[in-house]
Structure 1
Amino acid sequence: MRQLPFGLGLVEGFYGRQWRDEDRIACLRFIAGTGYRYYLYAPKGDAVLRRRWSERWDTAGERGMRAIAECCAEAGLDWGFGLSPLGLVEDPSPLNLRRLRDKVRYLESFGARMQCVLFDDMPRNVHALAAAQLDIFAEVMSVSEAGHALVCPSYYSTDPVLERVFGAMPADYWEELGAGLPRETGIFWTGDRVCAESHDAAGLGEIAARFARKPVLWDNYPVNDGARGSNFLRIDAFRGRGSELAELTQAHFVNPMNQCWLSRIALQSLALLYQQGPAYDADAAFAYCLRAQCEEALAAQLAADLDALQREGLSALSGARLAQMRARYAEFHSPLAEEIRDWLHGGYAFDPACLTD
């Protein structure tokens, strides 16, 4: 097992409505051409990776996984799965641990090069949480042949919302994980908030000391999957980040929107951020990425509607204004315009049931 060399990654890790298979494959080709190195298939809505983690995909699901593997091999992307073994921390019985080892072998049979265990957003009632999770990770690695391994902790941010929802973090949780995981293992971190507006050297340096390694950044921009986030289309370029993150993190992964094609605008801007370094200008990057992803008229319309889509949100659009926007985007014929129309008609409304699927 080796530490991840620094690079950009896409982690398909959102709740709610999932990407279509053909859109995903097109996006993987796109990010590879833009300069990304990594991809993790980890949608919370795929029950075979979470609620029904010990099961296997049906024939159609396996066909989709083989398509991902083929595409990543052709595009030069290192890829893997994000396995969220819901309930295993509470019940690590010999039978469940055998099922876990079998699942790891099954996942890697598709050619995955990264093995990722996600302990995020799980109800739990375990006192020695870090020790229990280290035991599970050890079981995974006992049969894994992947070249890289990553872990997402249960407490992946200093955001107080995590303790409000999942209870108080055990004392020394981060330090115990850092001490128990092999040094080559990456540990995900979202920043000072679950959806951080910026990342700075002080905050990343502090968690690096507690993890005993640089964190792997899980950047929750432009993701928009929550009850509040689904009200917005986060199409703006990346802001509040600088290319110095390459020195402060092991890698920089991005969690995209439920809207696959619209996510490309922000994804391309992050590649520009690292390519241009201190010369990066978010406004110029936004304009450039719009032109790259859209026909001229649609790019101009999105630029004009940025505030409405990104900051005001769907719930703030009055009846007349909403009708006008629906009519306006009906004039365009592209996958991006299709996603906007669908969003304007409520097609991406948040469903609380997605949190328990």
Structure 2
Amino acid sequence: MTEPALPDLGMIEGRFGRLWTPDERGYVVETLAAAGYSFYHYGPKADAALRRSWRTAHDAAQTAALAQLSAQVRAAGMRFGMALTPIGSTHPFDDAVRADLTRRIADLDAIGIDDLAILFDDLRGDLPELAAWQADVVNFCAGITRATRVYMCPTYYSDDPVLDRVFGARPVDYLGDLGRMLDPAVQVYWTGEEVCSKEIGVGHLRRVADALGRRVCLWDNYPVNDGARMSRHLHLRAFTGRSAAIAPWLTGHAINPAIQARLTCIPALTLPMLYRLGEDYRYAAAFTEAATTLLGSELADLLQRDLLKFQDAGQDRLNIPIPNYPHTHRHRGGGAMVGGL
């Protein structure tokens, strides 16, 4: 029997909260590559040079560390990408902004990127001609980068009405306008029906593809736990609410990780299983296999025993502190306004 093809699996390190250490990130890279992941996009919200201070380059030490990360990701057989959030670049998108973008993208190209992502998530969206201006910015960046793949994340990256409440009402036919104006080669990140979608199905993805005129790359906000409430929980369970049937409707499937780098790898290992096994996938068995692979059988059994406490009850409802299992870090909570992206 021919094994079903996996979609392009990746990680978009796009959460709020503390930055991982080089050792933590290196562990994740090696684990994902061995499991069949094919890309790693670096864009943590706490990296100011990619977001609130995007016009200012990384310093020499940061640049060297990112070049080393690029080399590590590529040596592991994955594509390396970086995500820039050019706050204030669309209104106006003028010569000064073009000059800033040209300089900064040259900086990222010099670090060594295969993929470039331009993100507009968690920014005000009630602006005139939003889709047109965002498309102009992304198309401009696509035209000057040496990266061979370009991604973008819209301001309204989900159907979730929470985005309209927090960032302003989305423009009429925002996705349709964006899809018509974006270069056809640009891939669009999308989180699903909700910011943190419990289920992602074919019907929804088909509708979004029809609106955009292209399939999306899924930005899956699991196992991310960077919000003030979510950070009190460890997201450890295997993937649920997704099926192998969605693969033809995706250009890729990227997960947004938890604060705990090594524990992130437990659910991460189950995503390839979900696609490979199809209707034979069982999430409890997938968790056991992934946890045993990474932690050994004894520690995996302990984690399985306390899974309900860690993931569902959370730290605030426990009578004892969360155990500091080997290779884990206690979570302190991030600053995500809407809980995931």
Code of the residue aligned with 1:59 in structure 2: it is A
CA contact (8 A) 2:125 2:155 kept: no
Give 1:281's aligned residue.
282
Give 2:306's aligned residue.
305
Give 1:235's aligned residue.
236
In the TM superposition, what is the alpha-carbon distance from 1:125 to its structure 2 partner? 4.9
Give 1:196's aligned residue.
197
CA contact (8 A) 2:27 2:262 kept: no
Instruction: State the Cα deviation string for residues 275-304 of structure 1 (Å, max 9, x = none).
Output: 222211101001111111113332121111
Question: Is residue 265 of structure 1 aligned with residue 266 of structure 2?
Answer: yes
In the TM superposition, what is the alpha-carbon distance from 1:352 to its structure 2 partner? 7.3
Give 2:23's aligned residue.
22
In the TM superposition, what is the alpha-carbon distance from 1:137 to its structure 2 partner? 1.2
Question: Is residue 335 of structure 1 aligned with residue 319 of structure 2?
Answer: no
Determine the C-alpha separation between the residues in 2 that align with 1:257 and 1:242. Answer: 21
Give 1:86's aligned residue.
87
Code of the residue aligned with 2:60 in structure 1: it is T
Instruction: State the Cα deviation string for residues 176-214 of structure 1 (Å, max 9, x = none).
Output: 110111222111110000000111111110000001011
Matched residue of 1:52: which SS? Answer: coil
Name the count of aligned residue pairs.
Answer: 334
In the TM superposition, what is the alpha-carbon distance from 1:123 to its structure 2 partner? 2.5
In the TM superposition, what is the alpha-carbon distance from 1:305 to its structure 2 partner? 0.9
Question: Is residue 167 of structure 1 aligned with residue 168 of structure 2?
Answer: yes
Alignment of 1:318-329 (within 5 A): 321-322=319-320, 325-326=321-322, 329=323
Code of the residue aligned with 1:349 in structure 2: it is G
In the TM superposition, what is the alpha-carbon distance from 1:227 to its structure 2 partner? 1.5
Determine the C-alpha separation between the residues in 1 that align with 2:17 and 2:133. Answer: 29
In the TM superposition, what is the alpha-carbon distance from 1:44 to its structure 2 partner? 0.6
Change (3 A) 1:99 1:253: same
Give 1:214's aligned residue.
215
Determine the C-alpha separation between the residues in 1 that align with 2:159 and 2:241. Answer: 18
Give 2:249's aligned residue.
248
Structure with greater helix percent: 1
Q: TM-score, normalised by structure 2?
A: 0.94
Instruction: State the Cα deviation string for residues 213-232 of structure 1 (Å, max 9, x = none).
Output: 11111100000001121111
5+ residue gaps, structure 1: none
Give 1:54's aligned residue.
55
Q: TM-score, normalised by structure 1?
A: 0.90
Determine the C-alpha separation between the residues in 1 that align with 2:75 and 2:193. Answer: 37
Instruction: State the Cα deviation string for residues 149-174 of structure 1 (Å, max 9, x = none).
Output: 11100000000100000111001110
CA contact (8 A) 1:19 1:260 kept: yes
Give 1:147's aligned residue.
148
Matched residue of 2:244: which SS? Answer: coil
Change (3 A) 1:352 1:133: closer
Matched residue of 1:165: which SS? Answer: helix
In the TM superposition, what is the alpha-carbon distance from 1:349 to its structure 2 partner? 3.2
Matched residue of 2:111: which SS? Answer: coil
User: Alpha carbon RMSD of aligned pairs, Å?
Assistant: 1.8
Determine the C-alpha separation between the residues in 2 that align with 1:352 and 1:272. Answer: 29
Determine the C-alpha separation between the residues in 2 that align with 1:212 and 1:351. Answer: 33
Determine the C-alpha separation between the residues in 2 that align with 1:6 and 1:285. Answer: 18
CA contact (8 A) 2:226 2:335 kept: no
Determine the C-alpha separation between the residues in 2 that align with 1:301 and 1:113. Answer: 40
In the TM superposition, what is the alpha-carbon distance from 1:138 to its structure 2 partner? 2.3
Give 1:106's aligned residue.
107
CA contact (8 A) 1:90 1:124 kept: no
5+ residue gaps, structure 2: 1-5
Overall identity of the aligned pairs, in %: 33
CA contact (8 A) 2:13 2:44 kept: yes
Matched residue of 1:115: which SS? Answer: strand
Q: 2:333 aligns with which of 316, 337, 349?
A: 349
Matched residue of 1:109: which SS? Answer: helix
